[in-house]
Amino acid sequence: MSASETDPLISKAATQYKLNPDLIRAVIKQESAFYPCAVSDKGAMGLMQLMPDTASTFKVADAFDPAQNIDSGARYMKQLLGRFKGDLKLALAAYNAGPEKVDGPKPAVPNIAETKDYVEQIVKALNGAPAETTP
């Protein structure tokens, strides 16, 4: 999808969930390269690669609908940032590998090459920008 199509959806979700739009954009780029019909080997769907259980949790009727996908992906990221007390690396690791792989007595990015690379690539893309915006 082109930026002219995704930017309004990203902006809306970023405003609604008080997230940096660049974070949403970086996740989409890393997850699907802005391909709305992307499906991973594990069954993740759409721009932000929602897993079926995540899509169900957020009551997504069509995970391939860019508006629903971006809204739910952003809402999930906001939830993960809350769960991991604003720690962007932990939230990203949880988005990629699942929160149960990050949780524990000392939450950490799991030792999974794909997840480590995922977190590194998105953090690098953000170049120190905050994940959340202030009210």
Residue 133 belongs to a domain: no
Annotated catalytic sites, by residue? 31
Residue 55 domain boundaries: 3-126
Residue 135 belongs to a domain: no
Residue closest to 84 by CA, chosen among 65, 63, 101, 60: 101
Residue 47 burial by Cβ neighbours in a 10 Å radius (0-12, 13-18, 19+): buried
Q: Provide, rounded to the nearest whole percent, the portion of the chain with pLDDT above 70.
A: 96
The pTM is what?
0.92
Is pLDDT above 90 for 57? yes
Q: Give pLDDT, residue 59.
A: 96
Residue closest to 98 by CA, chosen among 117, 120, 76, 82: 76
Residue 7 belongs to a domain: yes
Distance CA 120, CA 46 (A): 22
Domain count for the chain, please give it: 1
Q: Give pLDDT, residue 125.
A: 92
Contact 123, 9 (CB under 8 A): no
Is pLDDT above 80 for 133? no
**CATH code, 86:** 1.10.530.10
